[in-house]
């Protein structure tokens, strides 16, 4: 390879295109990453307010989030479970989804007993319905639960 001799006083210029491209890729990556935290919250779930509610002190490692949302226009109020964006009636179908989730966590090397189950229930959901969901989870071996509520000022 032959190198050309530079003239004295000629400035070397760097091509900044790859660095700018990488910067935009990092920005896009972090924007997508931040949006995943909001994906586990559904607008149909209006959490109850509580003076005792406080944000978690530590980040939970890949929890299982179950949301109990009110079906619009249902009178009396009816509720469905939301897991990963799927609408599931509380009952046998939810039990099947919990079996699937337990197996998935098991394949990742995480036993169900160590997985945190976050339950976000609409403020109008009967306590008995929340208890029913917790019992279904316990039947599949999940033991750690967190209930979500809005922080009351």
Domains of the chain are: 49-151 (3.30.420.270)
Give the containing element (helix H, strand E) for 96: helix 92-107
pLDDT of residue 80: 84
pTM of the model: 0.61
Pick the more confident residue, 88 or 52: 88
Phi, psi (deg, nearest 5) at residue 57: -75, -30
Report the alpha-carbon distance of residue 76 to residue 94 in Å, rounded: 21
Tokens of 6: 């530079």
Note the Cα 138 to chain centre separation in Å.
Answer: 21
95 class by beta-carbon count within 10 Å (0-12 exposed, 13-18 middle, 19+ buried)? middle
Contact of 99 with 108, CB cutoff 8 Å: no
> By mean pLDDT, which of 35-39, 57-61, 92-96 is the weakest?
35-39
pLDDT single digits (tens) 48-75: 666 555 555 666 578 888 888 877 766 6
Q: Is there a contact between 119 and 63 (Cβ–Cβ < 8 Å)?
A: no
- What band does 146 get if pLDDT is binned at 50, 70 and 90? confident
Report whether 70 contacts 79 (CB < 8 A): yes
């Amino acid at each position: 390879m032959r190198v050309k001799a530079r003239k004295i006083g000629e400035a070397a210029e760097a091509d900044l295109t790859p660095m700018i491209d990488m910067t935009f890729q990092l920005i896009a990556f972090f924007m997508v990453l931040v949006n995943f935290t909001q994906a586990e919250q559904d607008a149909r779930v209006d959490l109850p307010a509580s003076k005792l509610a406080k944000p978690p002190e530590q980040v939970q490692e890949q929890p299982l989030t179950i949301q109990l949302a009110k079906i619009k226009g249902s009178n009396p109020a009816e509720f469905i479970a939301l897991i990963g964006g799927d609408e599931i009636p509380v009952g046998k179908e939810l039990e099947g989804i919990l079996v699937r989730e337990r197996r998935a966590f098991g394949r990742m090397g995480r036993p169900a007993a160590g997985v945190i189950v976050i339950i976000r229930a609409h403020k109008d959901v009967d306590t008995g319905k929340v208890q029913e969901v917790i019992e279904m989870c316990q039947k599949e071996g999940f033991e750690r639960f967190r209930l979500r509520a809005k922080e009351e000022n």
